[in-house]
């Protein structure tokens, strides 16, 4: 897959392709090219990604939106996949990162900290741990995955309701 100059980035091209794949299976969208889809620049924030390709597209969008270094993609994707599989969407993930469960605002990862001593994945795990109601178990990445506090929708539902 090459760089698409219409969307402006490879990330956006991946998002558009994933949306088309999902909508191709939806009766109301079959055989139609909806121009609004080609204008998408990021994974829809309230859609929970399903599968490897959608997870990749959602992760790229989250990294771009949060202005995190793309060098963290592989490790961060591993952590995000656990949340996505539990029904989390980027909107709820960003809210989890920005707030404690009681609603108090939390400073972002790169706000005045030495990024080298507090790695992004370490920070991300710390934030997930703050939202987990179950005890942390296991060794390496044994974080209990919290229940999403903001409901996500499927890609097809998002497209049908937002752009029907």
Over residues 32-65, the pLDDT tens digits come to 556 666 666 788 899 999 989 889 889 988 988 8
Nearest CA among 37, 74, 36, 40 for reference residue 55: 74
Which pLDDT value is given to residue 28? 65
Which pLDDT value is given to residue 1? 38
Whether residue 119 is contained in a domain is answered as yes
Query: Taking the C-alpha atoms of 76, 81, 86 and 87 in order, what is their torsion angle to the nearest 10 degrees?
Result: 90
Whether residue 4 is contained in a domain is answered as no
Structure pTM?
0.75
Whether residue 151 is contained in a domain is answered as yes
Which range of residues forms the domain containing residue 67?
A: 10-163
Q: How many domains are there within the chain?
A: 1
Whether residue 39 is contained in a domain is answered as yes
Whether residue 5 is contained in a domain is answered as no
Whether residue 2 is contained in a domain is answered as no
Higher pLDDT among residues 85 and 18, named by residue: 85
């Amino acid at each position: 897959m090459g760089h698409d100059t219409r969307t402006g980035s490879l990330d956006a091209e991946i998002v558009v392709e994933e949306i088309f794949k999902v909508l191709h299976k939806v009766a109301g969208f079959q055989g139609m090219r909806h121009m609004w889809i080609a204008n998408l620049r990021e994974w829809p924030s309230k859609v929970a990604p399903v599968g490897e390709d959608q997870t990749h597209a959602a992760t790229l969008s989250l990294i771009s939106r949060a202005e995190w270094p793309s060098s963290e993609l592989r490790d961060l994707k591993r952590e995000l996949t656990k949340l996505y599989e539990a029904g989390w969407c980027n909107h709820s993930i960003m809210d989890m990162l920005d707030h404690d469960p009681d609603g108090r605002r939390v400073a972002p990862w790169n706000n005045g900290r030495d990024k080298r001593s507090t790695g992004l994945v370490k920070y991300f795990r710390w934030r997930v741990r703050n939202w987990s109601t179950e005890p942390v178990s296991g060794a390496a990445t044994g974080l209990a995955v919290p229940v999403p506090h903001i409901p996500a929708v499927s890609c097809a539902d998002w497209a049908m309701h937002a752009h029907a």
